Structure 1
Amino acid sequence: MTAIVHSSETVTLVGAGLATSDAILRCLKIAPKLIAADGGAQHCLDAGVMPEAVFGDLDSLANISALPAEVVHRIEEQESTDFDKALRSIDAPLVLGAGFTGLRVDHYLACLNTLVRRPDRRCILLGDTDIAFLLPPHFQMELAAGTRVSLFPMGLVEGTSDGLKWPISGLSFAPDGMVGTSNEAEGDIEISVTAPKLLMVLPEAELEAATEALLACSSRWPALDR
C-alpha cells in the first residue's frame, strides 16, 4: 500500500455523502489541503474549492471534465470503497472526512469498518450531529463536564478510563455484546485500549478539540497486514 498524497499537515477529505459547503469550509480552516473521494469532488466544486487529488473508481463523478486531468486518480478495483481507496492513498498526520455520513447507512458502516481496517491512518469523520474516530492506544482530551462520550466497539476490546461518569475499566466490549454509548465526561478524559477496535463518538462541536487531541497524541497503531 503506497500513498500518493504526502502531507506533513492535516488533510481534508470529502466524500459523496452529505457534505454541506459549510462543513467543507470548516474542515479546510483546520486542514487546507483538499482531497476528494470520487463524487465528493462535486461537493468541493459546489463549495467553490478545487481538490488537489481525487481518488476512486469514479463511478459517481459525473462532472469529471471540470477537473484537471492530473488530479484524477482512477482506482479500478471493486473490493474496497472509495473512502478506503482515498484514505490508504493519503500519508498525513490526520485526515478530516466530510461527506461520509448520511444518505445510506451501509456506506457509513463501511466507512467505520475502514477506520478499523486502517488504524495507522488517523481520521475523524464529521457528520451533521457527531464526529467519529478510532481511539489510539492511549488518548487524552479536554472536555467540559456533561459532554456526551460514546464508545462503540468494532471487535473485542478492553480498556481503562479516567474522567468518564461510567468508567470502562474491567469491561469487555464487543459489537454483539457490551457497548459504551451515551457515557459522559466529568471533565478531561484519559482512555487506554487494548486493540484498534474502539470508536469514539462525540458531538460535532468537538471537531477542533478532537483534532488537536489526536495530533498531540504520540500513541499510534501500526498498519495491519491486509
Structure 2
Amino acid sequence: MSEKTHWNRREMAEKGFTFVFPYSEGLKRVRELLNTDYDPAVLWVWGTMQARAVIETLKACESDFGEKGQKVVYEALKKVGREVAEQMISSSKFEGMDEAELLSFFATIVNTIAYASIEKPWVESEERVGFDILWCPHQDVYSAFDCRVQRYFVQGMLEALREKYEKETGKKLKWQVKFETTIPAGADVCRFVIWRSESEDNEWEKYTELLNRKALNGKNIL
C-alpha cells in the first residue's frame, strides 16, 4: 500500500499500532476493480444514498413510533459501529501503549477508513488530543442536526474499544469525547476533542441523549 494513502500515519507503525480493514473480502474485490475502468467516485453516490436512507429511516421511526422507534434505530446502528470497530482493532495490542496515542490512532482509522474522511490529527498533551475533519462524505448532504445519527455508530465503536482495552490491560480507558464545531453548521472543519477524565459520566452518550430528546420534541438544533 502506498505511503501516501490518506489513512497512513507514520507514527502508528513506529508505535506498533496495527489494525485490520473491516469487511476485508468485499474490500479485496473493490481493489481489484480499481485496475479496471470502474470509477470509484460512484461509491460516494452509493454511500450517500445509504447515508440518506439511514437518517430518513430514523426520522420516520421517530415520527411514527416515537421514543421506541428511535431506540430501535439507535441500537441497530450502535451494533454496526461495534461490528466495524471490533474488526478494525482485532489485531491491535493495547498493553503498554500510551493512552493518548492509542486514542489518537483509533480516531484516525475510524475517521479515514470507516468514515472515508480526511483528517488533521493533533496532540496537545498527554491529557488532551483531538482531530479536525477537513472533508467528510456527508458534509454536502447532511444538515448539522442530521449528523446526530452518526453518533450512534460511534457509540458502538467506543464501547468496543473500551471493552478490549479493559480486557487486555485490566484498566478502564477514562477519556471523554465531544465535538466543538461541524462543517454542516458553517465551520471550516469538524473539530473533535478527546480528553482524560475521571468522571463516570459518558459525555458522548449524554449529549446523544439530549439530541434524541430534542428530535422527539421537534427541536432540530444542536
TM bin, normalised by shorter chain, reads: under 0.3
Q: TM-score of the superposition, structure 1-length normalised?
A: 0.27
Q: TM-score of the superposition, structure 2-length normalised?
A: 0.27
Structure with greater proportional strand content? 1
Structure with greater proportional helix content? 2
